Chain A
Amino acid sequence: MTDTDITPGDVPGATAPVPRKSFREARRMIRTYSRSFSSMLGLALVTLFLFVAVFGPWLAPFPEDAYGAVNFDIKLQPPSAEHWFGTDQVGSDILSRVLIGARTTLQIGLTVTGIAILIGVPLGLIAGMVGGWIAETIMRITDIFLSIPGLILAIAIVGALGPGILNAMLALSLVWWPGYVRLVQAKTLSLRNETYVDAARALGAGPFRVLFVHVLPNCLSPIVVKASMDMGMAILGAASLGFLGLGAQPPYPEWGAMISTGRAYLPDWWWCSFFPGIAIYLTVLGFNLLGDGLRDVLDPRQR
């Protein structure tokens, strides 16, 4: 027998039962997940959010209000049957603006988390697999980034690039990746010395095969869990920049910027900033609870 014959995964008998096993596994996971009330609440909130993000322009009663329509004769009206969330200082329907703002929020969350993963995961894999001075350098840089409060660094970057929604997203992405490096590096380090990875190496698997077939798939669960949490946190971060006036600029329908604008009308016209805040809260809460639930299912040893 030569060692090319027994590349792991090529043994016919070993591949056959896999689909059924993974089906059973998935069913078990779904059962575990659906037993928890808070996980299901998270799933419901995220589903609602995604639904609104996709269909917002059709759901909104006055879609043109999200793009700077002005009706001064109905400005600052309290919540009513026609305007559920009331109207703002130029008479725009706040419900419509909140619904359409969901799309922006989703874009921000996906972009920031996506870029952070694209930067952080490869660096973490390299640091974990290669070791030596390369790993040392990567981890030191990561540590330095992690030792600055993220929001402050994001503000500094937006300060350098200039305010705006694209720059805000870029800034948040640039401060978000170090967490993934830490996570993936730690996971890779522990996986690297697992018996099955040693076995694969002993059977002649090259470094790339070990990386992509044996290490990366086992890193996926914690990455998925962290990504779900980070969607929420990135949305919160973008709303914070919007509130400070560094992100999306009014009248763009972004929740943080809406709160900031509504602030000037606060004592009497509370609904201007109340409802966008609720939208942020429910969305972030949804992604956090979803992440918690996924962790219980995918990565039970971690808390």
Chain B
Amino acid sequence: MLKLIAKRMGLMVVMLLGLAVITFTVANIAPGDPARLAAGPDANQEMVEQIRVERGFDRPLPVRFVLYIEQLLNGDFGTSVYTGRPVAKDIAQFLPATVELVLFSISIAILLGVPLGVIAAVRQNRPIDHAIRLLSVSGVALPMFWLGLMLQWYLALNLDLFPLGGRLGIFSDVPEPITGMISLDAVLRGQFAVVGEALWHMILPATALSLPALAAIIRVNRAEMLEVLGRDYVTNARAQGIGPWRIIAVYSLKNAILPTLAMIGLRFGWMLGGTVLVEGVFDFPGLGLYAAKAAISSDFEPIMAVTLTLGAAFMLINLVIDLLYAVLDPRVRNQI
């Protein structure tokens, strides 16, 4: 197991380096002057020249790459033209909100998706299976930004059931930050009214964000359950008189959950990308909204930094999923 962890960590370092190569390449395929891009659209010539020397844009490419890696290792992601602050600071400020939203969304997707997949498989071709199927085919096809807008329009504006956006109402006291995730901080500080309010603010964005993941999880879990339920050992367990729920929960789901886990990992990563679409709709001050604003105003360094951050986060999720796989499946564990 330790060997496996070490091996995966080593691989992750290589992948992170590859990720840096990609962002470096993207930054340098830009037509025109990278110094001008970094300086932003409104900078004058003098500022551009200053940035050129400061960030080493006047050096040859390989030297610049080494410089770039050095800057990254020092936690220097450049400066945002839009906010006028170091990008690293902005990311530290906005990341917790996004992590909170994504964790909440993936929890919804898992807590609903796994049982719905099981129900659909157990009641195959019954009306409930068709209803769940409708949900799962629609979930991947609905544009999540549009779904978010429609939820906001109908449930928040028309029926006034949910807040329009943001993380908390303007009159609530924000708990003293520990993790930066408001709901978690509120729990840690014992402000339980705020916990509810923070979760309440996340329901609509999380619904929009989690629907594609929910759909994918239902689909995979249903297919896996169908296959497992048809296996001989399940028939054998039935013949032995083991109750239906025990067969489903203990004998079948345990085997069906592995491919579902892989899908959860993948969708978790895509959700990080989806925040760019959803956070803007609900004015949720996270990394996604930050990236969307930066992209619109051609604020180059923040976009690259967000790409790096979310890419690294995705890799980390994959690492965790890989290790979970090894914990759950002795075949994978013993391969090494």
Residues of A within 8 A of B (CB): 38, 140-141, 143-145, 147-153, 155-163, 232, 236, 239-240, 243-246, 256, 259, 263, 266-267, 270, 273-274, 276-277, 280-281, 284-285, 288-289, 292, 303
Q: How large is the interface on B (under 10, 10 to 19, 20 to 34, 35 or more residues)?
A: 35 or more
Q: Cβ of B280 and Cβ of A244 under 8 Å apart? A: yes
Selected from A141, A152, A160, the residue in CB contact (under 8 A) with B29 is A160
Q: Cβ of B137 and Cβ of A147 under 8 Å apart? A: no
Give Cα distance in the complex from A288 to B142, angstroms.
11
B15 proximal to A (CB < 8 A): yes
**Cβ of A143: which chain B residues have Cβ within 8 Å of it?**
15
Q: Cβ of A151 and Cβ of B273 under 8 Å apart? A: yes
Residues 213-230 of B contacting A (Cβ, < 8 Å): 223
Q: Cβ of A156 and Cβ of B143 under 8 Å apart? A: no
**Cβ of A266: which chain B residues have Cβ within 8 Å of it?**
149, 152-153, 157
Q: Cβ of A155 and Cβ of B303 under 8 Å apart? A: yes
Q: Cβ of B18 and Cβ of A144 under 8 Å apart? A: yes
Give Cα distance in the complex from A76 to B281, angstroms.
22
**Cβ of B145: which chain A residues have Cβ within 8 Å of it?**
240, 243, 259
- Say whether, besides A157-B26, A159-B298, A159-B303, A244 and B143 are in contact (CB < 8 Å): no
B23 proximal to A (CB < 8 A): yes
Further pairs besides A155-B276, A285-B137: 14, Cβ < 8 Å: A147-B318, A148-B307, A149-B273, A151-B270, A159-B298, A161-B31, A239-B143, A244-B280, A244-B296, A259-B143, A259-B146, A266-B153, A281-B141, A285-B138
B128 proximal to A (CB < 8 A): no
B213 to chain A, nearest CB (A): 12
**Cβ of A277: which chain B residues have Cβ within 8 Å of it?**
143, 146-147, 149-150
**Cβ of A243: which chain B residues have Cβ within 8 Å of it?**
143, 145-146, 277
Interface SS of chain A: helix
| Cross-chain pair count, CB within 8 angstroms | 148
**Cβ of A158: which chain B residues have Cβ within 8 Å of it?**
295
| Between-chain CB contacts (< 8 Å), 5 pairs | A149-B269, A149-B314, A155-B303, A244-B276, A303-B223
**Cβ of A273: which chain B residues have Cβ within 8 Å of it?**
146, 149
Q: Cβ of B311 and Cβ of A232 under 8 Å apart? A: no
Selected from B142, B149, B280, B303, the residue in CB contact (under 8 A) with A156 is B303
**Cβ of A259: which chain B residues have Cβ within 8 Å of it?**
143, 145-146, 149
Residue of B nearest to A240 (CB): B277
**Cβ of B300: which chain A residues have Cβ within 8 Å of it?**
159-160
Q: Cβ of A141 and Cβ of B18 under 8 Å apart? A: yes
Residue of A nearest to B227 (CB): A303
Q: Cβ of B150 and Cβ of A152 under 8 Å apart? A: no
**Cβ of B298: which chain A residues have Cβ within 8 Å of it?**
159, 162
B22 proximal to A (CB < 8 A): yes
**Cβ of B296: which chain A residues have Cβ within 8 Å of it?**
163, 244-246
- Say whether, besides A149-B310, A244-B280, A155 and B291 are in contact (CB < 8 Å): yes
**Cβ of B318: which chain A residues have Cβ within 8 Å of it?**
147
**Cβ of A149: which chain B residues have Cβ within 8 Å of it?**
269-270, 272-274, 310-311, 314
- Say whether, besides A140-B18, A273-B146, A303-B223, A161 and B141 are in contact (CB < 8 Å): no
Q: Cβ of A232 and Cβ of B303 under 8 Å apart? A: no
Selected from A145, A160, A263, the residue in CB contact (under 8 A) with B149 is A263
**Cβ of A148: which chain B residues have Cβ within 8 Å of it?**
19, 22, 307, 310-311, 314
**Cβ of B31: which chain A residues have Cβ within 8 Å of it?**
161-162
Q: Cβ of A38 and Cβ of B137 under 8 Å apart? A: yes
B292 proximal to A (CB < 8 A): yes
Give Cα distance in the complex from A222 to B141, angstroms.
20
**Cβ of B19: which chain A residues have Cβ within 8 Å of it?**
144, 147-148
Q: Cβ of B157 and Cβ of A152 under 8 Å apart? A: no
Give Cα distance in the complex from A174 to B152, angstroms.
33
Give Cα distance in the complex from A274 to B300, angstroms.
32
Q: Cβ of B141 and Cβ of A160 under 8 Å apart? A: no
**Cβ of B37: which chain A residues have Cβ within 8 Å of it?**
160
Q: Cβ of A152 and Cβ of B306 under 8 Å apart? A: yes
B103 proximal to A (CB < 8 A): no
Give Cα distance in the complex from A151 to B310, angstroms.
11
Residues 267-309 of B contacting A (Cβ, < 8 Å): 269-270, 272-274, 276-277, 280-281, 291-292, 294-296, 298, 300, 303-304, 306-307
